[in-house]
Structure 1
C-alpha cells in the first residue's frame, strides 16, 4: 500500500492536489480543489479515473477548473461521481450542473452525488443526467463519526472546518493499518503458509474464537500478525491560523506523515495575511514542526511574489522546519 500525490498548478497560480491510494489490488484517485488550469497536468484518462472530488471552499481560485473536469466526466456511469465540500456545496454544484443546455441527454444514465460536510452530519443530494440535473434528490443525512467523512476498505478521509471568513475544509487521507504475517513466528509454531493466512487477517469473516490450524484465530492473530501503520497526507488551505486553531489542527495532524499547505505570504506580510484570513510561511512551518509531520509542501503562494521572493519565503519556512519544500517543478 502507498499514497502518492501531486500538486497541480504552478507557483503563484491556482493549485490543487491529486492523490492516489494504491492498496496493491486497486488504486483510488482523489482530487482536492480544482483551480483554473490545474487539470492540464493530468491526462484525459487520469481525469476520468478520479473517484472523489473534495472542495475546501468555493472561491474562484479553488473551483475555476471544475468545468473542465465536469466536461470530461458528466456522463460517466458508476459510483465514482462523488463531490464533497463545506455547507452549501450541494446548492452551488446544482447551479453548475444546470448552467448548461441539456438536450441530448435522455439516453445517458449518469448519477452524481454531492455532499455538504456539516459539523454534526453530512447531507447528500443526488442529481440525475437523464433529468438534465433538474431535481436535487435529498438522501438520508449521515451522522458524522468524529471528523470522519469517508471510510473505504483501504483508507479513510477526515475533514475539519477552518475559518476563511467562510468554512474552508481541511482534509486528511490515511491508509488503514496493514497486518502482515511474521514468517519467523509462523515457522516457530510449525505452521505452513497457505490461503488460511489471508482469512486470518479478516477479523470480520473469522471471529477470534474460531479454530484455525488447531488454535483459536485470536491466539494466532496475537502470535503472527504485525501491524504496519499506513501512509497519510493532509491538505490544508486558506484559513486564519490563530492560537486556538493552531492547537486544534496540531492535535488533528499528530501522526500524519505529510502536510500540503498554503503559504500565501512571507512573514513580513503578516498583517496582510491576517486581514485576508491566510497564513505566512513561518506560521505554516511552526504548525508542521509542532504537529510532528515528516514533510511540508508549501502551495498557494501569492502571485505578488516573484521567484526571488518565493525563494525567500521557502527559506523562512526552512529556518523553522527544514523538511519544507515547494512542489516538484517549482524550483527552489
Structure 2
C-alpha cells in the first residue's frame, strides 16, 4: 500500500500546501483507492496525481470543518459529470449526510453512481474481510475522529513440496488449500489446507488522526502501528495556542508516536504561517522525541510495508 498526500496544510491553503486530503492506494490488496478527508481544491490536486476518481471506493471524513470537507461536493459532482458509475461510500460524523445532500440539492447537482453515506460513532465502521477500520474519538471543537486501518493477516506460504510428498498433485485444489480450506480429493481423502501452510503473515496497520489536541484515545488508536499520521499544526513554542484551538504541536505529535509504540510517524496539517525554510526546524523538533519521523508535503508518496 501507499499513502499519497494531496494536501498537507492546516486551516487555510497556502502557496506551498493545499488543505487536507490523503489518498490510501490499496496496491497489493486491490486496485482501488480510499480518501481520508477532502478539503477545498482536492479534485484539482487529484488532477496532478496518479489518483483516478473512478478508483475512489471510499472517503473517510474525520470532521466537518471546511478545510476537511469543502472539496467533497465538487469531487462528487465532477465524478458524475465524467460518467463514472462505480459505487462510493462516505464515512464521517453526524451531519455529513445533511452537508452532502444539501450541497447537491441547492446546486441542482445529481450523481450517476450509487452513494452510501454512513454517519459513524466510535467503534468499528468497516470490516470487508480484507481491512478493518475502527474510529476513535478525538479532542477538537467539533465531533472528530481518527481512523485505525488494520489489514487482516495473510495466510502463510503453501508448502507445495510437502503436498507432493503426500501424493497430492498440483491442480485447481492447490488454490483452495492455499486459502486454508479443507478439500476432498478424488479418492475421498480429506486434506486440511491449514496443515500445509507456513506461519501467517501479519497485515499492515495505520493510524490516521484527524485534528486533535492531546487526547486519551491516542494510545489505543496508534498502538504499535506500522505508520501513524498525525497533525503538527504549530511548533513547540506555540503549543498552548495549538491546544486552545484543538490542535497539537510538533512535540506532542512525536510524543504520541513514541508512547504508542508506533514504528513510523508522518506529520502533516502545518499552519500556513510556515514556509519551506521552516520545515527542517519543525522536523527536528519531532525527531528529538521520535527519530523515525517524516514530514509530508503536497504530493509526498510513502510506501507502507513491514
1:310 pairs, out of 266, 273, 279, with 279
- The 1:224/1:168 distance shift into structure 2, 3 A limit, reads same
**Cα distance in structure 1, aligned partners of 2:103 and 2:199:** 48
| CA 1:201–1:167: 2 relative to 1, 3 Å | farther
1:173-201 CA distance string (max 9 Å, x none): 22221113134544554544332122124
Contact 1:8 1:16 in 2 (8 A): yes
Give, in angstroms, the shift of residue 329 of structure 1: 6.0
* Cα shift at 1:283: 1.1
What does residue 4 of structure 2 align with? 6
Out of 20, 41, 46, the position equivalent to 1:15 is 20
Residue 111 in structure 1 maps to residue 102 in structure 2: no
Partner SS state of residue 178, structure 1: coil
Within a 5 Å distance, the mapping from 1:245-324 to structure 2 comes to 245=216, 248-324=217-293
Matches within 5 A, 1:142-153: 147-153=123-129
Change (3 A) 1:109 1:263: closer
Q: Structure 2 CA distance, aligned partners of 1:330 and 1:151?
A: 29
- Higher relative contact order, chain-length normalized (CA < 8 Å, sep 6+): 2
In structure 1, the gaps of 5 or more residues are 120-146
Q: Once the two structures are superposed, what CA deviation does each residue of 1:71-109 show, in whole Å capped at 9, x if it has no partner?
A: 22236665622111012212222212212125xx6xx75
| Structure 2 residue 199 is the aligned partner of structure 1 residue 226 | yes
**Contact 2:86–2:113 (CA<8 Å) still a contact in 1?**
no
In the superposition, relative to structure 1, how do residues 212 and 289 fare at CA in structure 2: closer, same or farther (>3 Å)? farther
* Local SS of the residue matching 1:305: coil
Mapped to 2, the partners of 1:188 and 1:327 lie a distance apart of 51
Match of 2:93 among 77, 86, 99: 86
**TM-score of the aligned structures, taking structure 2 as reference length:** 0.83
In structure 2, the CA distance between the partners of 1:292 and 1:194, relative to structure 1 (3 Å rule), is farther
Pair 1:63-2:78 in alignment? no
Q: Find the residue that maps to 1:51 and give its secondary structure.
A: strand
RMSD over aligned CA atoms reads 2.7
Q: TM-score, normalised by structure 1?
A: 0.77
Q: Which runs of 5+ in 2 are unaligned?
A: 10-16, 301-306
1:143-192: per-residue Cα shift (whole Å, max 9, x none)? xxxx2211224222221121212211111222221113134544554544
Counterpart check, 1:101 vs 2:78: no
Match of 2:175 among 163, 174, 198: 198
Given that 2:207 and 2:221 are in contact with CA atoms closer than 8 Å, whether structure 1 keeps it comes out as no
1:329 and 1:240 map into 2 onto residues whose CA distance is 23
Tell me by how many angstroms 1:299 deviates.
0.5
Counterpart selection for 1:38 from 38, 42, 52: 42
2:178–2:197 CA contact under 8 A, matched in 1:
no
Deviation at 1:265, TM superposition (A): 1.1
- Number of aligned residue pairs: give it: 288
- Judge conservation of contact 1:14–1:35 (CA < 8 Å) in 2: yes
Report how far residue 62 of structure 1 moved.
Answer: 0.7
